[in-house]
Structure 1
Amino acid sequence: MSKNKKQIIIMSIIAIAFLTLYVVWGLTAKNYRFNLSLRIPKVLGILIAGGTISVASILFQTITNNRIITPSVIGLDSLYSLVQTVVVFVFGSTSIFMVNKTINFLMSGTLMVLLSMILFKVVLKKGENNIFFLLLVGTVVGTLFRSMSSFMQVLIDPNEFDALQTKLYASFSLVNTKIIVVSILILIIIAFVLFRSFNNLDVMSLGREQAINLGVNYDKFSKKILIIVAILVSLSTALVGPITFLGILVVNLTYEITKTYKHSVLLIVGTLISIIALVGGQFLVERVFVFNTTISIIINFIGGIYFINLLLRESKL
């Protein structure tokens, strides 16, 4: 058995153990129905969010040929917050665009995909293989989106601002269960597309010039992958909210553990690590901190420290 297969089996066992522990912890004959009705949607949200965030981050790093940046770093989370704020500012928190979660998901997802494609095109065109320019653009764009969101949030009614806040922070306690079926269908389609693209992705990781020399239609393939990245990011964010640093934390751990370029391994291991991190984080939120904090704070704190460490390591090379 190869090393990577052993890693996948071990990570799968750990993920299943964590999921089982989270689901069955504290269950009794009297409360199991009620608790399972709450925990199963959370588990589904964790599985979907973990898969989408890790896959989107790996794909984005493959296209940009850089292991530090992720879609979150260049402002996609801020873009989601801006979309939600604009909806409340223009239509109100009681409008069908906010009350109906399916419509809200479709609307925000579509806008994020369209605006993300514009952003990707500009960034990749101007900052190809230049991490400092990419980070600068991401910081500027993210700051712009946050500033616009903050300006509109100051102007809206306090009650509507309170309703908006539930959309702006990651929480598995408020999983959008009405879009889980839609999410699963979208993921099945994306999984089928990616399964047929593993070889091209492996070649793309060599860089633009090498990929073109080996016969890959780089520009066309990049656009297809970036559309998938935008869909995955909008899907995970609309489902549980933004988790800024989870992608960079999970992906770099995946590279360090697997030591391989094969995306058939990277995508699976990355998804398993992401699920373990989210389950562990949610378990801490509920059992240790007793809901006094959120999973996004825990993940962003650990991921932020890890991101700074990566930057310092890169500067020494």
Structure 2
Amino acid sequence: MTEAVSRPRPLHWPTLTPGWRLALLLTLVVFAIALYLTWDIKASLAFTLKYRSKKLITLLLVGFSVSTATLLFQTLSQNRILTPGIMGFDALYVLIQSILVLTLGVIGFNTLNPYMKWGMETALMILAMLMMYRLLFRGNQQSLQFMMLAGIIFGVLFSSGSALVFRLLDPTQFGVLQDALFATFAAVDPILLQISFGVLAVTAVALWRTHARLDVMLLGQNSATSLGLNYNAMVLMILLLVAILVSLSTALVGPVSFFGLLVVHLAYRLAGSYQHRFLIPFAALLGMLTLVSGEFILQHLTNFSTRLSIIIEFFGGLFFLALIIRQGKA
């Protein structure tokens, strides 16, 4: 897909190489984690660390997953305003939740085995991506564009199905469903976190082993193929990694649409390099820093009762509109 916006210009700090910028960002992440865990402890230290560490791990996993998935998807599409949400993942998640509430009822939905629910949601999202690749991708850039357009159509179809289910729910069921559709970082099962951490660790290893080929993908299909890259295999691998990362994040906490767009754009500006060996860890760390510091400010400094995801989506949506307006003026 042709690039819809000009590539963000990196900020040039002559005294800071990309490696030093990564080290500085890692230091900020560690500092934010320490503040989040130790600020305003009113109970015993052991109890407080145990209570806060579960939410902290969730924030770190989601920050890594969403940021990395968005970066990979933009590398594949060569477009800086697209996110994996264009493939209809968020709409599919909403449809799954709607059908579960309608068929199981409030009690059945709230008592559903969390591991079975998580596994089903993750498997369905990955399967949907594989089916779209199998049916629509024909090994060229045009078919990749067609597959993304098909993702938009499927997203509209899933949204329409969800709207139909909404009308069949009673007020109590609708309230439970609405609560489930807002991303929350507090009520995640520890075993699910361990499983997700293991899957993301394997994903991180795969990304590190292929970061050089991801750099070649930025050159476009013709250039990548002339350099000896198996373009079709790379497209499938990137789509699989994106599907795994997005499905894990969405199944854990719910949809977070614009967060990745905001973080990845800042990563391009601040990382000091377009090489994926710097971009991937920089975007992941920046996503972690944004979520941890945002949760710290929201919970400990402002005492707001709203969810962090609502604020992130609000500012992320404004940022997306700003990118569109800026490109229109350009």
TM-score after normalising by structure 2: 0.86
Are 1:64 and 2:80 counterparts?
no
Q: Structure 2 vs 1, CA of residues 288 and 151 (structure 1 numbering), >3 Å: closer, same or farther?
A: farther
| Paired position in structure 2 for 1:220 | 233
RMSD after superposition: 2.8
Work out the CA distance in 2 between the residues paired with 1:151 and 1:126.
36
Listed one character per residue, the Cα deviations across residues 3-38 of structure 1 (whole Å, up to 9, x for unaligned) are 11111011011111111111111114x343443232
Displacement of 1:165 in angstroms is 3.0
Which structure's relative contact order is higher, taking Cα pairs within 8 Å and 6+ residues apart? 2
Distance 1:129 1:280 in 2: 41
Structure 1 residue 140: deviation in Å? 4.5
8 Å contact from structure 1 (residues 93, 99) kept in 2: no
Instruction: Indicate whether 1:208 and 2:225 are aligned.
Output: no
Q: Of 87, 91, 94, which residue of structure 2 is paired with 1:78?
A: 91
Query: Which secondary structure does the structure 1 equivalent of 2:84 belong to?
Result: coil
Q: Alpha carbons of 1:137 and 1:34: their partners in 2 closer, same or farther (altered >3 Å)?
A: same
Give 3-state SS (helix, strand or coil) of 1:99's partner. coil
**1:222–1:193 Cα change, 3 Å:** same
Report matched runs for 1:149-298 at 5 Å.
149-298=162-311
Measured in 2, the distance between the counterparts of 1:111 and 1:163 equals: 22
Deviation at 1:289, TM superposition (A): 4.8
Distance 1:143 1:8, change over 3 A: same
1:89–1:156 Cα contact (<8 Å) kept: yes
Query: Is the 1:98–1:104 contact (alpha carbons within 8 Å) kept by the matching residues of 2?
Result: no
Q: Compute the displacement of 1:216 (Å).
A: 0.7
Residue pair 1:97, 1:103 contacting (<8 A) in 2 also: no
Judge conservation of contact 2:139–2:232 (CA < 8 Å) in 1. no
1:9 aligns with 2:19: no
- C-alpha distance 314-127 of structure 1, shift in aligned 2 (>3 A): farther
Q: Residue 172 of structure 1: SS of its match in structure 2?
A: coil
Task: Spell out, residue by residue over 1:77-126, the C-alpha distance to the aligned partner (whole angstroms, 9 max, x if none).
Answer: 12111112222223344448962111111000000111133446778779
8 Å CA contact 1:65, 1:129 repeated in 2: no
> Shift in Å at residue 170 of structure 1?
0.8
> 1:87 — aligned with what?
100
Three-state SS of the structure 2 residue aligned to 1:261 is coil
Contact 2:298 2:308 in 1 (8 A): yes
Q: CA deviation at 1:161?
A: 3.1
Of 25, 31, 38, the match for 1:24: 38
Partner amino acid, structure 2, of 1:224: M
| Unaligned 5+ runs, structure 2 | 1-14
For 2:297 and 2:251, locate their aligned partners in 1 and report how far apart those are by CA, in whole Å. Answer: 23
Aligned to 1:313: 326
Q: Which structure 2 residues correspond to residues 22-171 of structure 1 after superposition, within 5 A?
A: 22-28=36-42, 30-95=43-108, 99-119=112-132, 128=141, 140-171=153-184
Number of corresponding residues: 316
Q: Distance in 1 between matches of 2:191 and 2:173?
A: 22
Unmatched tracts of structure 1, length 5 or more: none
The two structures have a TM-score, normalised by structure 1, of 0.89
Cα 1:121–1:167, aligned 2, differ >3 Å: closer, same or farther?
farther
Percent identity over the alignment?
35
Contact 1:88 1:98 in 2 (8 A): no
SS in 1 for 2:85: coil
Q: Residue 68 of structure 2 aligns to which amino acid in structure 1?
A: V
